Chain A
Amino acid sequence: MACCVDGLDDTNEGRKPVTTTSAEPTRRDFLYIATASVGAVGVAAALVPLIAAMNPDASTIAAGAPIEVDLGPIAEGQVIKVFWRGKPIFVSHRTKKEIEEARSVNLASLPDPQPDDKRVKEGKPQWQVLIGICTHLGCIPIAHSGQYNGYFCPCHGSVYDTSGRIRSGPAPTNLPLPPYEFVSDSKIRIG
């Protein structure tokens, strides 16, 4: 408080605007509420650009356009890793044995039950495309490893089978599938 002015502290009481007529308060209250509302709208509107600026920018979105992957060079039993939107995508050329293993599992025993044929494109069970990010906390699992010779996440020990389904460990769900389609028999477009 201002030290150089004596006796001010106890005089602020009653300094609020004094209501003089009975008709005035409603008009006054309406004005105050309207002003506060308009101010609140202004603050909210000012937040929009600040928040939007932290979303992916136009160049990032453009760079996230679909990519095409040539399946020709991928040998049977091989898993390759490509990047789409900064995420690793596993493209696996599964062997007959791997497909069989994936299809003979008792679905009821799975933490996240899902049949293998729902995880590949119809008529192309040998091609499996997965987002290679562990559903636990985002590490990248290692292919052809773990108890089911599927994927094993070294960070916290989640084990996935050859269909990318979670079998044991802390991960809650199966490895997700990216949107993709077959452009031809030997080419897919991811995204």
Chain B
Amino acid sequence: MMRSILAAVLAASLLGVAPQLASAADDTPPPPRQKWSFSGPFGKFDRAQVQRGFKVYREVCAVCHGLDLVSFRNLGQPGALGYSEAQVKQIASEYKIKDGPNDQGEMFEREGRPADRFPRPWANENAARVQYNAVPPDLSVMAKARTYERGFPWFIFDIFTQYQENGPDYLVALLTGYEDKAPAGVTLPPTLSYNKYFPGHAIAMPKPMEDGRVTYEDGSPQTLAQYSKDVTAFLMWTAEPHMEARKRIGFQVMIFLLVFAGLLYFVKQKVWYDVKAGRI
């Protein structure tokens, strides 16, 4: 009796609340789902794709954005871009690294070495603010630092489907979500751009690239959509460089746990046999 009264009260209150819940959602559309080679329990990075993404990063993103946490040597490690040691050395040597002080007490520039990290494109945050009107965020863990709200009940299903590419999907949406003109009725502050997927829509980063901006040697389409996907895959690797090892070891651990749990189950049945049979 009391239960049904309470249930009724609860239901009524939730119903009364429902329309307000709906109005709480804002007008940002959810990013479209992409297909990623690295999703799922056996996901791996597509080497060609992350190499293309690296090219996009070097030629477009690196003008403003740093990659502070990544070293050149990381490019050649297992589960990374698939470069050889010589290629890594070559890439590193294409960068100028500030080092010092030398014996004369002066800072100097030298060729990069595999142990060096990617140099930042600006000296300090204030210099960046002067130059770009904002501090371009570091991209090292960007693919894990952005997400979008999945909402009930999707966030529960995600546990079982292992959908966790919220960050990459958002990044692709953001890179392709620029609109030349803000919709009618929206006035943008000067120096800001309109982006469909950016929370609040007014974004400090101008549209970074368009079709044909980067030349691909492997014949992949040179389109904004392709660039966005490739550079996002590269950023997923920079954010989670040991992802392939993690998923590989995870599978081994799962097999072990299932076998061990199975054995323990039979041991338990044996041990409890006499108790269950009432002999004890």
Write the nearest CB–CB distance from B92 to chain A, whole angstroms.
11
> Chain A nearest CB: distance from B158 CB in Å?
27
A35 at the interface (CB under 8 A from B): yes
Question: What are the interface flags for B59-80 relative to A under an 8 Å C-beta threshold, 1 for contact and 0 otherwise?
Answer: 0000000000001010001000
A45 to B259, CA, bound (A): 15
Q: Chain B 238-280 against A: per-residue CB contact (8 Å), 1 yes, 0 no?
A: 0000000000000000001001100110110011011000011
Q: Is the CB of A59 within 8 A of B71?
A: yes
Assembled-state Cα–Cα distance A62/B270 (Å): 53
Which residues of chain B have C-beta atoms less than 8 A from A62's C-beta? 71, 73, 114-115
Cβ-defined contact, B115 with A42, below 8 A? no
Q: Does B113 contact A (CB under 8 A)?
A: yes
- 8 additional A-B pairs beyond A17-B270, A18-B280, A35-B264, beta carbons within 8 Å, are A31-B263, A31-B266, A31-B267, A34-B263, A38-B259, A41-B256, A42-B260, A62-B114
A76 to chain B, nearest CB (A): 19
Select one of A17, A32, A39, A58 contacting B274, CB under 8 A: A17
Which chain B residues border A39 with CB–CB below 8 Å?
260
Contact B115 A65 (CB under 8 A): yes
In the complex, how many angstroms separate the beta carbon of B73 from the nearest chain A beta carbon? 5
Q: Are B270 and A28 in contact (CB under 8 A)?
A: yes
> How far, in Å, is B143 (CB) from chain A's closest CB?
21
Partner of A38, one of B115, B263, B270, B280: B263
Contact A42 B71 (CB under 8 A): no
- 8 closest A-B pairs by CB: A62-B115, A35-B263, A38-B260, A18-B274, A35-B267, A62-B73, A17-B274, A28-B270
Contact of A31 among B256, B270, B274 (CB under 8 A): B270
A-B pair count, CB < 8 Å, reads: 42
Pick the residue among B77, B263, B273 that contacts A17 (CB under 8 A): B273
Q: List 19 A-B pairs, Cβ < 8 Å.
A: A17-B273, A18-B274, A18-B279, A20-B274, A31-B263, A31-B267, A31-B270, A32-B267, A35-B263, A35-B264, A35-B266, A35-B267, A38-B259, A41-B256, A42-B260, A45-B256, A62-B114, A62-B115, A65-B115
A15 close to B (CB within 8 Å): yes
- C-beta contact mask, A31-73 vs B, less than 8 Å → 1, else 0? 1101100110110010000000000001100110100000000
Decide: A65 and B113 in contact? CB cutoff 8 A.
yes
Assuming the contacts A18-B279, A58-B77, asked whether A63 and B115 have C-beta atoms less than 8 A apart, the reply is yes
Number of interface residues of B (CB under 8 A): 19
Question: Which A residues are in CB contact (< 8 Å) with B114?
Answer: 62, 65
Which chain A residue shows the least CB distance to B259?
Answer: A38
Interface size (A, Cβ < 8 Å)? 19
Query: Given A39-B260, A62-B73, is A15 in contact with B270 using a C-beta cutoff of 8 Å?
Result: no
Closest to A49 in B: B249
A65 to B256, CA, bound (A): 38
Complex alpha-carbon distance, A17 and B269, angstroms: 11
Minimum CB–CB distance from B75 to chain A (whole Å) comes to 12
Chain A's closest residue to B71 (CB) is A62
Closest Cβ–Cβ distance, residue B70 to chain A (whole Å): 12
The answer to whether A15 and B280 touch across the interface, beta carbons within 8 angstroms, is: yes
Q: Which residue of B lies closest to A41 (CB)?
A: B256
- Chain B residues whose CB sits within 8 angstroms of the CB of A65 once the complex forms: 113-115
Task: List residues of chain B with CB within 8 A of the CB of A28.
Answer: 270
User: Which chain A residues lie closer than 8 Å to B259 at the CB level?
Assistant: 38
Of chain A, the residue at the smallest CB distance from B241 is A58
Cβ of B273: which chain A residues have Cβ within 8 Å of it? Answer: 17
Considering the chains assembled together, what is the distance between the CA atoms of A39 and B53 in angstroms?
44
Most chain-B Cβ atoms within 10 A of its Cβ — which of A17, A28, A31? A17
Q: Shortest CB–CB separation between residue A44 and chain B, in angstroms?
A: 11
Say yes or no: A35 contacts B71, CB within 8 Å. Answer: no
Contact with A along B186-207 (1 / 0, CB 8 A): 0000000000000000000000
In the complex, how many angstroms separate the beta carbon of A34 from the nearest chain B beta carbon? 6
Given the complex, which residues of B lie within 8 Å of A34, measured CB to CB? 263
- Please name all residues of chain B whose beta carbon is closer than 8 Å to the beta carbon of A45 when the two chains form the complex: 256
Give the docked Cα–Cα distance between A42 and B264 (Å): 13
Q: What are the residues of chain A within 8 A of B266 when measuring CB–CB?
A: 31, 35
- Tell me the smallest distance from the CB of A115 to a CB of chain B, in Å: 35
Return chain B residues, CB-CB under 8 Å to A35: 260, 263-264, 266-267
